[in-house]
């Protein structure tokens, strides 16, 4: 025989989908720009590669991840109608 107890609800702990979407969009966009900055700085300053080669790498990564980040941000800012 299982004893079931109701878990008390705490004020302010209800999940809010809007704040979760905002957090995910902010995290994705911030991570995207941080990753591009790391590639730029690591390639140019640390590895001493020519700037043209580093920009090609940044462009490639931006092209690959841009669609994913765009989809996440587009979902957050979608039309509410």
14-23 tens-digit pLDDT: 667 777 888 8
Per-residue pLDDT of the chain (81 residues; tens, 9 = 90+): 566 666 666 666 666 777 788 888 889 999 999 999 999 999 988 899 998 999 999 999 999 999 999 998 888 877 665
- Would you state the structure tokens that stand for residue 21, as one six-digit string? 């979407």
Tell me the chain's radius of gyration from C-alpha atoms.
21
How far is the C-alpha of 8 from the C-alpha of 19, rounded, in Å? 23
Q: Give me the sign of the Cα torsion angle 66, 18, 23, 6.
A: negative
Among residues 7, 40, 28, the alpha carbon closest in space to that of 70 is found at 28
The pTM of the whole model exceeds 0.85: no
């Amino acid at each position: 025989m299982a004893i079931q107890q109701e878990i008390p609800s705490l004020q302010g702990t209800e999940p809010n989908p809007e704040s979760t979407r905002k957090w995910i969009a902010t995290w994705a966009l911030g991570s995207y720009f941080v990753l591009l900055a790391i590639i730029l700085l690591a390639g140019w300053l640390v590895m001493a590669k020519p700037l043209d080669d580093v920009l090609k790498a940044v462009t490639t990564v931006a092209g690959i991840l841009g669609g994913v980040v765009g989809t996440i941000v587009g979902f957050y800012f979608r039309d509410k109608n």
